[in-house]
Amino acid sequence: MGKINLGGVILGGLAAGLVANVLGFLVDGVILAPQWAEAMKALGRPDFSSTQIIGFSVLGFAYGIFTVWLYAAIRPRYGAGPKTAVCAGLAVWVAGLLIPNFALMGVTGLFPSSLTVMTTLGGIVEGVAGALAGAALYKESAVSAQSKAARA
């Protein structure tokens, strides 16, 4: 197996994060904004601040980079392409969103079940679309491609 192209991971990861952040804004910042405001008010908390929104955006880019890194890591086994990107996006969604959302939001009853379900389902679209965008930009390094060719 060749080495992962770190520059490709960063480039693809930033693209994945951008796509996920834009979709996340549409889902949580527009479509679900009234439910989020109501849920935060029920907790005695103000709406999300600019600092928190920036924090969510930074996390979105971190998730994007991690997703493309995972894509690059599983590519030798699953093959390059959209199917592998979807697998990486789903894996990150399960570990990074599905489990935490249902543990912290659902099981505790901290937020309404409908909001938990809707934001979690929105996250699958964000994560998979981001993974597809990031994987489309990821290319193995020339050294890695040459070492594969030499072994074949």
**Continuous H helices in the chain:** 6-24, 33-42, 50-78, 82-93, 99-100, 113-137, 142-151
Q: Which of 71, 72, 57 is nearest to 20 (CA)?
A: 57
Work out the angle between the directed axes of helices 113-137 and 50-78 (0-180°, nearest 10). 60
72 occurs within a structural domain: yes
Residue 51 resides in a domain = yes
pLDDT in tens, 108-121: 889 999 999 999 99
Give pLDDT, residue 33. 97
pLDDT at 144 over 80: no
Q: pLDDT digits over 40-91, tens only?
A: 999 999 999 999 999 999 999 999 999 999 999 999 999 999 999 999 999 9
pLDDT at 147: 55
| Domain assignment present for 14 | yes
**Choice among 105-109, 122-126, 135-139 with the minimum mean pLDDT:** 105-109
Q: How many CB atoms lie within 10 A of CB 98?
A: 18
If one compares 148 and 103, the residue with the highest pLDDT of the two is 103
Range of the domain at 120: 6-147
Structurally, the chain folds into a number of domains equal to 1
Q: Is residue 152 included in any domain, yes or no?
A: no
> Any long-range contacts for 74-78 (C-beta under 8 Å, 24+ apart)?
75/140, 76/1, 76/2
CA angle 44, 46, 49 (to 5 degrees): 150
Q: Report the range of poorest mean pLDDT among 60-69, 96-105, 127-136.
A: 96-105
Tell me whether residue 79 is in a domain. Answer: yes
pTM listed for this prediction: 0.89
